[in-house]
Structure 1
Amino acid sequence: MVAQPKYSDRRMSPEDYLAWEAQQDIKYEYERGKIIAMTGGTLPHSQVPANFAALLVPHLRGKGCKVFVSDAKVMTGLGVYYYPDVAVTCDERDRNARDFLQYPSLIVESLSPTTEARDRGIKLQNYLRIETLQEYVLIDPDRPSFECYRRSQSPNWEYHSIEIEGTDFSLNDPTVYLASVSLEFPLSFLYENIDFPMEIPETAG
């Protein structure tokens, strides 16, 4: 979720959380009894998942896969529920799921200063425990970069990253490869319609 988490002192069981959260006006994530309220993020943080989904949906059409953006809850199997920015499942066991996914193959998080530590820390640990997950991707909306944890041989993971100097894709536009869905595309596609923050030149003192 591209949002700033706010933690609540309220603790409850997974079952109580699912029943309670379904009645709330905003989304809440859940980590072993701890409730985490999700608040709004920036427009670039929302644009990245939209761009990702625009690539995934036509590519996966007719292949028995489902693509979700932001509103789909994922259970990691350890009493933890998250709202990733993008989730893809091709598992029949998720076909009729109504409340949350359990068997995703690809999960994407759009980084922000307030959520990056969790995305790289506790979320990384919990996501990589999902038996069906093949790739966990991290995207920085404020600079061109792509990071991917890719399953090699269970329980091992490989780390892959792409980062370019500057923000001019006409000079360098590397190819991104997603093994989980057999998809290749230029890195610039993830940043379509995103204006990067202006760099302020240094002045002589």
Structure 2
Amino acid sequence: MMQTTTLVTREEYFDRLANSEIKLEYHGGEIVAMAGAQPTHNIIASNLISELVFCLKAKGCVVYNSDQLIKVESCDKYTFPDLVIVCQTPIYEKTPKGLDALENPEIIIEVLSESTESYDRLEKFDCYKTIPSFREYVLVSSRTKKIEVIKKLSEAEWLSHTYSDKDENVLISACTIRLTDIYNHVELPA
């Protein structure tokens, strides 16, 4: 049996988002509900926010948490990444119902889970690459001490560096962060 999906307009999406108690993403006419995160995911994201805010505040950068909606025009998407960093003047699309969508993210960080890893690595990354300001993608494992930092070299070339428990530090943007600080208070599966 074939399942049919009712497509909605952006206006309908923002109406639903304004009245929703959960985060909703917009994927080209489809609305996707975002599930709540596990404690490990939340602790890693909080640790990263703490470290990055401390490192980047003197540089005038803004670190956003997972409540910041971003617009990916070329893919007709609105998403809620785990963390977003902007070091230039933030540019927002004024959306209906007052939830402004960031248009110029520079660094996007996703804490991976089993259910989202493939989407974050492939489809989401391909869409993020179309944002002109986007220059660094960070994928953080919530199952093992592993962080992949992917930096833009040119429109067609990205350089990936993977950090693991063998590494003492991780370089995100201009910040050198201890791996143990990112995973502080995190209980990883054995």
For 1:1-205, what aligned pairs fall within 5 Å after superposition? 9-78=5-74, 79-94=76-91, 99-164=100-165, 172-179=166-173, 182-198=174-190
Separation in 2, partners of 1:152, 1:86: 21
Separation in 1, partners of 2:127, 2:93: 24
Separation in 1, partners of 2:148, 2:123: 17
C-alpha deviation, 1:96, in angstroms: 9.3
**AA aligned opposite 1:32:** G
Q: Does the 8 Å CA contact 2:93/2:103 hold for their aligned counterparts?
A: no
Closer/same/farther in 2, CA of residues 12 and 96 from structure 1, 3 Å limit: closer
Q: Does the 8 Å CA contact 1:109/1:138 hold for their aligned counterparts?
A: yes
| SS of equivalent residue, structure 1 residue 139 | strand
Residue of structure 2 in register with 1:167 after alignment: none
TM-score normalised by the chain length of structure 2: 0.88
How many residues matched?
Answer: 182
Separation in 2, partners of 1:60, 1:89: 10
C-alpha deviation, 1:37, in angstroms: 0.3
TM-score normalised by the chain length of structure 1: 0.82
RMSD of aligned alpha carbons: 1.9
Select the structure that is richer in helix. Answer: 2
Q: Answer with 1 or 2: which has the greater Rg.
A: 1
Q: Does the 8 Å CA contact 1:173/1:188 hold for their aligned counterparts?
A: no
Separation in 1, partners of 2:147, 2:58: 27
Separation in 2, partners of 1:51, 1:178: 13
Separation in 2, partners of 1:32, 1:188: 39
C-alpha deviation, 1:53, in angstroms: 0.3
C-alpha deviation, 1:19, in angstroms: 3.2
| SS of equivalent residue, structure 1 residue 10 | coil
